Chain A
Amino acid sequence: MIRPLIALALTLLLAMPASANPALEAVIADNLDQIEKPSRRTVEPLVAQIAATGPEGLALLQAWSGRALGVTDDGRLLIVDGDTATDAVTGAAVTDAEPKMLRPNSGVRGVIESALVAGEISSPDPARRAAALASIARDGTAEHLAALRAAPAEPDPILARQRQRVTNLLAIRFDAEPAARVAAIERMAGDVGLDFRAALNPLLATSRIAAPAEPDANIARELSIGADDFPRDAAIALLTSQGVLQPRLTPADQRNALAANVTGGTVGGIPVADLFDPAARDRAYEALEASGAVPPAATEAEADAALESHRFFEVYAEPNPDVTDAARAAQTRAQVRLAAMTGIDLGLDALSLASIYFLAAIGLAVTFGVMRVINMAHGEFIMMGAYTGYVVQTLIANRTLSLVVALPLAFAVTFGAGVVLYRLVIRHLAHRPLETLLATFGVSIALQQLAKNIFGTQARPLTAPAWLEGAVTINDVISISSIRVAIFVLALLFLGLFLFIMKRTRLGLEVRAVTQNPGMAASMGINPDRIAMMTFGLGSGIAGIAGVAIGLFAQVTSELGQQYIVQSFMTVVVGGVGNIWGTLAGAALIGGLSKVIEFLNPANTLAAQTFMILFIIIFIQFRPRGIIPQRGRAAEA
């Protein structure tokens, strides 16, 4: 009894590989070419076919979209998982094959995932349900709508809300009942989400037509010729494109027509040599018209007549007026909120830029306030800080820890560099600000080249820890990357620290004294040299911190400092020197203005920068000492 059973089992086992899923095997054999080189446009039926063959087919699709599918030389498909491989059809383990891995592009993967998704909506695993919803939200179809509606209730409240939203959005687009669509629109009215707007806008898309009488379509409005958005030329172009009017004669057409009718050195009786004159060309063309050699061109009178006899309409592509009315109402409601939110988002961007400028400029402002010198190598201190961050990150793998180490280390390194620069160069050039400017410029180009020699010219990676990745997102409009928020916090921190040092410590007192009157301060027993050195070190140290911060969201190269140095100068000059609030005001003004100009001129960021600088040059005319000018004796120098 047992023996035949074993025999049966053995036969089954042996038979299994050959006929585990003959349908799948057939599909693969027929479509191997397409599986190897799939195209998004054509792969959909194939995917449906494979999915229909059962669980093996689904597993194959999963592997295919996950780039875990390989093909052997003899045309078998293997699902590869690390070092092990199984035959996609039989499920048998394969050891000796060297499959060529298939790399379907993301379009094809989208199609495959979309085919798999319907089954996933009701998967017991919440993560897979979430992924399925996200996939539908990205690329939903009418079938998905049906599947969503048919799916059992969602237990997870967050996912339930998300599903409700996706269902609504799909209903707006695909529901057969206009009333249901209107209801879906009304449920979501006032929402500023990108997906909702993405569902509304196609409904409100219009096209322009010209017709003798009112057409039978969902008309958005009638256009009147001569209105701002519909000049006469546009009307004529519309009529021409509809074939009502003949196109007008362009100079090139005229020239070609004339060239085609040269006879014996003349065209229409006018010598070819005279045809450099446009008037002569017109006469020649008229002569040709009269003789019938060329077709007559469209005249003004014809155009006027055509304009007279036609009316112009904007019509919706969506045929149902109820839907378009509801969509328009919903859009209007969203518009005001949207504008406000765009404003807030712009404000956040500006705040972020301002805090970066503030961090970059604060050190410059301090040294300028105390010593009246501009440190041209300030940008290179920023760069040094960024490279310090990079070096620390290569030594310490943990990104959070490396950042924690890098920030004080960058401060220490650049503090040291600042002190060295002060002792070796700046001290000897005291009270010669223009020469200091030049000497520090020498230091700047030497440091820049040195960085190139040490780190190479290639940009180096400085990566934020995972908790700083991503963005703080309020909604689809207002969002700011976490790293920028962190930089803002850092700037606030330094503002506080700086105020504390200046107002509450002895060093700050002495710095203020030296800033106001170095001679008097010295006679009170303050060592101005030491104070200058300390402030210089402090200013440089903050530059180093700024370097780490900038490196986290931009690129670390030897030219990093150069990018910020001119803006830092501007910040100091606009804000006024010797006062941290001035620097803050300068940074806020420059950051805010840059973003506003960028907003007004979105296609050209370069123009924004030009206007920015022009503005500063003009601003200086009215406030030559900056927004918050220095008062007292120091101001007279």
Chain B
Amino acid sequence: MTEKLTRQPFILRNPQVLVVLAVLAVFTVAVTLLSQAYGSGVIPTSTVKVLGKTLCLALAAVAMDLVWGYLGILSLGQMAFFALGGYLIGQWLMYARTESIVAASLAQNPIPPTPAELQEGVANQIFGVVGSADLPLVWSFAHSLPIQLLLVLAVPGLLALVFGWLAFRSRVNGVYLSILTQAMTLALALWLFQNDSGFRGNNGLSGLQNIPGLDGIDQATLSVWFLWASALALALAYVLAAWLVSGKFGSVVRAIRDDETRVRFLGYPVEGFKLVVFTLAAMITAVAGALYYPQAGIINPAELMPIASIYLAVWVAIGGRGRLYGAIIGAVVVSLLSSWFTGGRAPSIHLPGYVVNWVDWWQVALGLSFVLVTLFAPKGIAGIFDRLGGILPPQRHGRDLGPDQGALQEQEAKA
């Protein structure tokens, strides 16, 4: 009891949480005041949407950091959960919007429609475009927002739980596990690409930016609302994640990252810890996806191809692993830079005899910068903050971290 009293409060032990929350609050207020809907209109709606989406990506990056930076699992399938969240909320968005359209259209008939006719009409409207007219079984709950919201958490959580249980139980780890997570997202993507899977195949779910029941509200306002929601979700998730990794739980998790076998010998249920973090991260990622896709407007299986998850890992790496704010910085900086450079606005560089057009060369620069960051700045951008704030990683010099091969090296633990 006394021990608890003498312990500093969570926030004081983690001043960075306050800083992050403050920055986030200032950012949100500033964007609101400059938006078209609530302020001067300096920031156009399309930019508000980009910023809102970037916050969702940052949220996914925080979850990725939990899994990779703290638990040591380089999950290359994290975007599967992100996209699943988007698909599940998209089902309701699409169904409810279509239902209102179909109901209005059928109401013009001389005879009121039966529920079956209404559903048939909705199915025809949604799936007619991909050549089907039946509502697949997976759409059974699409009419209900509460159920779909629940599923946003439940389905990715369950997938992570089952996948994690199978993988951790058979002690698959390191590079093997990374490849396996990649296989998981690829399998899911290929499954969704099929028309028969009931998610409209390659067309995916579209028109998600039109929120049913909010027809009177324009996109300028909606985009700000979504920005608020995304900022709130990010703040909550950040606090949750910071709290989780700061306590005893966090110590065990980091210990698993540094040497799984020793933690197991100490009697901790390693698989249980891994499962909790992995599942929680999947659920956070799914929430991020559920907030992201209504702002993006469309979701299709290309969103969960392995490359998307690798980008997520790269953001976290560039931002700085093992620091939650590093993940946010990485996601924000790299995704915004990418969108600026590919937007065709970045000025071309005129070299003698050749014009470097950023649309063509941005990918090359980005790729090389990963290499440079991993080689020369393994702590990422957050490493700079570490130096500024004098926050140093725990001194572990001279201590053997485990076998001389594998993922558990000192350098990696420190980085």
Listed in ascending order, the chain A residues whose CB lies under 8 Å from chain B are 251, 255, 258-259, 262, 267, 272-273, 275-278, 281, 368, 372-374, 425, 428-429, 431-435, 437-439, 441-450, 452-453, 518-519, 566, 569-570, 573, 604, 606-607, 609-610, 613-614, 616-618, 620-622, 624, 634, 636-637
Contact (Cβ within 8 A) B183 A613: yes
Q: Please give the distance in Å from B68's CB to the nearest CB on chain A.
A: 8
Cβ of B266 under 8 Å from chain A: no
Are A438 and B374 in contact, with the CB atoms below 8 A? yes
A442 pairs with B182, CB closer than 8 A: no
Q: Are the C-beta atoms of B183 and A606 separated by less than 8 Å?
A: no
B15 contacts partner chain A, Cβ-Cβ < 8 Å: no
For B373-398 the 0/1 string (1 means CB < 8 A from A) is 01100100000000000000000000
Q: Given contacts A434-B412, A566-B182, are A281 and B371 in contact (CB under 8 A)?
A: no
B348 CB-CB contact with A under 8 Å:
no
Tell me if A438 and B313 are in contact (CB < 8 A): yes
The CA of A442 and the CA of B329, in the complex, are separated in Å by 19
Residue among A452, A519, A566, A622 facing the most chain B CB atoms (10 A cut-off): A566
Q: Which among A276, A443, A448 has the highest number of chain B CB atoms within 10 Å?
A: A276
A618: chain B residues at CB < 8 Å are 166
User: How far is the CB of B73 from the nearest CB of chain A, in Å?
Assistant: 9
CB distance from B337 to the nearest CB of A (A): 15
List of A residues within 8 angstroms of B196 by Cβ = 604, 607
Residue contact B405 to A372, C-beta cutoff 8 Å: yes
Whether B363 and A434, one on each chain, are in contact in the complex, defined by CB atoms closer than 8 angstroms, is no
User: Which residues of the other chain, B, contact A570 by a CB distance below 8 angstroms?
Assistant: 179, 183
A616 with B404: in contact, given A275-B111, A442-B368, A453-B360 (CB under 8 Å)? no
B113 at the interface (CB under 8 A from A): yes
A residues in contact with B409, CB < 8 Å: 431-432
- Of the candidate stretches B114-122, B207-215, B278-286, the one touching chain A is B114-122
Q: With both chains docked as a complex, state the minimum distance between the C-beta of A156 and any C-beta of chain B, in angstroms.
A: 52
Q: Does B66 contact A (CB under 8 A)?
A: no
* 16 A-B pairs (CB sep. < 8 Å): A267-B111, A272-B110, A272-B111, A277-B114, A368-B175, A434-B407, A438-B74, A438-B317, A445-B366, A446-B363, A446-B364, A453-B360, A606-B190, A610-B190, A616-B183, A634-B405
Q: Is the CB of B412 within 8 A of A604?
A: no
**Per-position 1/0 for B313-338, Cβ under 8 A of A:** 11001000000000000000000000
A445 and B406 in contact (CB under 8 A), knowing A566-B306, A606-B190?
no
A573 B193 Cβ-Cβ under 8 A:
no
Complex: chain A residue closest to B189, CB-CB:
A610
Q: Complex formed: what's the CA distance from A435 to B68 in Å?
A: 11
- Choose one: A255, A272, A443; the contact of B367 (CB below 8 Å): A443
Are the CB atoms of B369 and A569 closer together than 8 Å?
no
Query: Which of the residues B114, B404, B407 comes within 8 Å of A433, measured between beta carbons?
Result: B407
CA gap between A262 and B369 in the complex, in Å: 73
| Listed residue (A251, A258, A368, A434) with the most chain B CB atoms within 10 angstroms of its CB | A434
Please tell me if the beta carbons of A443 and B371 are within 8 angstroms of each other in the complex: yes
Alpha-carbon distance between A428 and B374 when the two chains are bound, in angstroms: 10
Contact with A449, one of B184, B360, B374 (Cβ below 8 angstroms): B360
A80, B362: Cα distance in complex, Å:
55
Q: Which residues of chain B are near A431, meaning CB under 8 Å?
A: 404-406, 409, 411
Question: Cβ of A609 and Cβ of B190 under 8 Å apart?
Answer: yes
- Point out the residues of chain A lying under 8 angstroms from B370, CB to CB: 438-439, 441-442
Most buried by A among B111, B179, B180: B111
Tell yes or no: B236 within 8 A of A by CB: no
CA distance A634 to B405 in the complex (A): 9
Q: Decide if B361 touches A613 in the complex (CB within 8 Å).
A: no
Nearest Cβ on chain B to A426's Cβ, whole angstroms? 10
Q: Does B187 contact A (CB under 8 A)?
A: yes
Tell whether, in the assembled complex, residue B112 and residue A439 are in contact, meaning their CB atoms are under 8 Å apart: no
Compute how far the CA of A429 lies from the CA of B361 in the bound complex, rounded to whole angstroms.
26
- Measured CB to CB, the nearest residue on chain B to A603 is B196
B191 part of interface (Cβ distance < 8 Å): yes
Q: Would you give the shortest CB distance from B263 to chain A, in whole angstroms? A: 17
Say yes or no for B176: interface residue by CB 8 A criterion.
Answer: yes
Residue B45 at the A interface, CB < 8 A?
no
Contacting residues, chain A, for B187 (C-beta < 8 A): 610, 613-614, 617
Partner of A617, one of B184, B360, B365: B184
Nearest CB on B from A267, distance (A): 8
Among residues of B, the one whose C-beta sits closest to the C-beta of A433 is B175
B232 adjacent to chain A (CB < 8 Å):
no
Q: Are B407 and A439 in contact (CB under 8 A)?
A: no
CA distance A438 to B178 in the complex (A): 11
Q: Is B186 an interface residue (CB 8 A)?
A: yes
| CA–CA, A621 and B163, complex, Å | 10
What is the CB-to-nearest-CB distance from A514 to chain B, in angstroms, rounded to a whole number?
Answer: 12
A187 CB, min distance to chain B CBs, angstroms: 46
In the complex formed, the residue of A with least CB distance to B402 is A637
Check B116–A251 contact: CB distance below 8 A: yes
Across the two chains, which residue of chain A brings its CB closest to B74? A434
Shortest CB distance B220–A (Å): 35
Q: Contact partner of B374 among A255, A368, A372, A429, CB < 8 A?
A: A429
- B415 → A minimal CB distance (Å): 8
In the complex, chain A residues whose CB is within 8 Å of the CB of B365 = 446
* A259–B111 CB distance below 8 A: yes
The answer for the CA separation of A374 and B163 in the assembled complex, in Å, is 22
The residue among B109, B116, B196, B406 with the most chain A CB atoms within 10 A of its own CB is B406
- A536 vs B281: C-alpha distance in the bound complex, in angstroms? 36
The 7 closest A-B pairs by CB, nearest first: A442-B370, A446-B367, A449-B363, A613-B187, A637-B405, A445-B367, A439-B374
Known: A570-B183, A613-B190. A259 touches B178 (CB 8 A): no
For residue B310, which residues in chain A have a CB less than 8 angstroms away from its CB?
441
For B172, list chain A residues within 8 Å (CB): 620, 624
State how many angstroms separate the Cβ of A341 from the closest Cβ of chain B: 30
- Is the C-beta of B170 less than 8 angstroms from some C-beta in chain A? yes
Residues of A within 8 A of B216 (CB): none
- Least distance between B362 CB and chain A CB atoms (Å): 8
Given contacts A262-B110, A617-B183, contact A606 B374 (CB under 8 A): no
Question: In the assembly, what is the distance between CA of A491 and CA of B370, in Å?
Answer: 34
Question: Cβ of B403 < 8 Å from any Cβ of A?
Answer: yes
Across the interface, B186 reaches (CB within 8 A) one of A368, A446, A566, namely A566
Complex formed: what's the CA distance from A606 to B375 in Å? 39
Indicate if the CB atoms of A442 and B180 lie closer than 8 Å.
no
Answer yes or no: B171 CB below 8 A from chain A CBs: yes
Give chain B residues whose Cβ lies under 8 Å from the Cβ of A435: 317, 374, 378, 412, 415
A251–B179 Cα distance when bound, in Å, is 52
Contact B178 A442 (CB under 8 A): no
Residues B375 and A569 in contact, CB atoms below 8 Å apart: no
In the complex formed, the residue of B with least CB distance to A618 is B166
Indicate with 1 or 0, residue by residue over B148-185, a CB within 8 angstroms of chain A CB atoms: 00000000000000010011011110111011101110
B14 at the interface (CB under 8 A from A): no
Closest chain B residue, CB of each to CB of A258: B111
* Complex-state Cα separation, A97 to B405, whole angstroms: 82
Known A-B contacts A604-B196, A606-B190, A610-B190; the reply to A437 vs B183 at CB < 8 A is: no
Contacting A at CB under 8 A, from B242-300, are none
**Distance to closest chain A CB from B3 (angstroms):** 37
* B144 contacts partner chain A, Cβ-Cβ < 8 Å: no
> Of A450, A573, A610, which one neighbours B191 at CB under 8 angstroms?
A610
Q: How far is the CA of A448 from the CA of B178 in the complex (A)?
A: 22
B218 to chain A, nearest CB (A): 34
The answer to whether B194 and A273 have CB atoms under 8 Å apart is: no
A65 to chain B, nearest CB (A): 40
Inter-chain CA distance A431–B401, complex, in Å, is 12
Measured between alpha carbons, how far is A518 from B307 in the docked complex, in Å? 33
Contacts of B371 in A (CB 8 A): 425, 439, 442-443, 446
| A432 CA to B402 CA, complexed, in Å | 13
Collect the chain A residues with CB atoms within 8 Å of residue B174's CB. Answer: 433-434
Question: Do B170 and A453 have beta carbons less than 8 Å apart?
Answer: no
- Residues of the B chain whose Cβ atoms lie less than 8 Å from the Cβ of A445: 363, 366-367
Beyond A374-B175, A443-B371, 12 additional pairs, beta carbon < 8 A: A281-B114, A425-B371, A432-B411, A446-B364, A449-B362, A566-B306, A569-B182, A620-B170, A621-B166, A621-B167, A621-B169, A622-B170
